[in-house]
């Protein structure tokens, strides 16, 4: 079985500050890991993904995430928050045995001016 | 089409009525998924179609829920005898790959409200 835990349903940062959104997963086999973003009144879109290879993954809009197997984590970071980053962020896991993504409960990011 | 299209975008129905939600995947995408997103919660997997293989129905919450897909085209999710707890946004996604290591493209969802 696989599961995803996102710590913090709401995160608030100031514009220009570091963004850190936490994601821990459990999977019985090597996972594929994803971050999706949902802007207000829009559908989910892929931010970045880890499948194999380099554990530090870069995505769109300056976001990146690092796969840490020993910590079963895939935290999302961005060095400097922008107002346009305000959205809901979902971490998801899939593995070779299961064909559908399992999503976390989401973290709503607020960016204060 | 350019993206995954879902209809209707909003649906209000009376408790006990049946509803049918439609998903048009991206042309050529063999995989299609339905998820449910309750207010303030994550995405809950419902059902997965891959080509002509038997669908993975393991996420359907009850026998009131069913879904069909003809070939690699349109899918419909049907909820019979709707209950208030069925109120949620129903999301459809499609992807090219047989295994989920490539991107799934999501529609904007159907917001279902059962009154």
Q: In Å, how far is B15's CA from the nearest CA of chain A?
A: 26
Contacts of B93 in chain A (CB under 8 A): 44
Give how far the C-alpha of residue A98 lies from the chain's centroid of Cα atoms, to the nearest Å: 20
Contacts of B99 in chain A (CB under 8 A): 94, 96, 99
Q: Determine the residue of chain A that is closest to B92 in CA distance.
A: A43
Is the pLDDT assigned to residue A97 strictly greater than 70?
no
Distance CA B23, CA A101 (A): 18
Q: In Å, how far is A17's CA from the nearest CA of chain B?
A: 25
SS3 B84: helix
* Residue of A51, A99, A106 lying closest to B42 (CB–CB): A106
Distance CA B11, CA B29 (A): 26
Q: What is the DSSP string of A18-83?
A: -EEE--EEE-SSPEEEEEEEE-TTS-EEEEEEE-SS-SEEE-GGG-EEEEEGGGTEEEEEESS--G
Is the pLDDT assigned to residue B47 strictly greater than 80?
yes
| Mean model confidence pLDDT for chain B | 91
What are the pLDDT digits (tens) for A38-79? 998 788 999 999 988 888 999 999 999 999 999 999 999 999
Do B104 and A46 make contact, defined as CB atoms within 8 angstroms?
yes
Distance CA B23, CA B91 (A): 9
What are the pLDDT digits (tens) for B55-86? 989 899 999 999 999 888 899 999 999 999 99
- Of the listed ranges A7-16, A89-98, B25-34, the least confidently predicted one is A89-98
């Amino acid at each position: 079985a696989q599961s995803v835990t996102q710590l913090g349903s709401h995160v608030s940062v100031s514009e220009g500050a570091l963004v850190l959104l936490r994601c821990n997963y459990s999977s019985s086999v090597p996972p594929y890991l994803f971050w999706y973003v949902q802007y207000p009144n829009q559908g989910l879109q892929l931010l970045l993904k880890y499948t194999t290879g380099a554990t530090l993954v870069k995505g769109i809009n300056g976001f990146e995430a690092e796969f840490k197997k020993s910590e079963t984590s895939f935290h999302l970071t961005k060095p400097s928050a922008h107002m346009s980053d305000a959205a809901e962020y979902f971490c998801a896991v899939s593995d070779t045995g299961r064909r559908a993504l399992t999503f976390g409960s989401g973290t709503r990011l607020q960016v204060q001016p | 089409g350019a993206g995954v299209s879902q209809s209707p975008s909003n649906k209000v129905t009376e408790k006990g009525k049946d509803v049918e939600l439609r998903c048009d995947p991206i042309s050529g995408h063999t995989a299609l998924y339905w998820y449910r997103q309750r207010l303030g919660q994550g995405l809950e997997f419902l059902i997965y179609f891959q080509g002509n293989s038997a669908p993975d129905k393991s996420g359907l919450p009850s026998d009131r829920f069913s879904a069909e897909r003809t070939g690699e085209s349109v899918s419909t999710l049907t909820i019979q005898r709707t209950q208030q707890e069925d109120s949620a946004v129903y999301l459809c996604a499609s992807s090219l790959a047989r295994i989920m290591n490539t991107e799934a493209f999501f529609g904007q969802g159907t917001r279902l409200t059962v009154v």
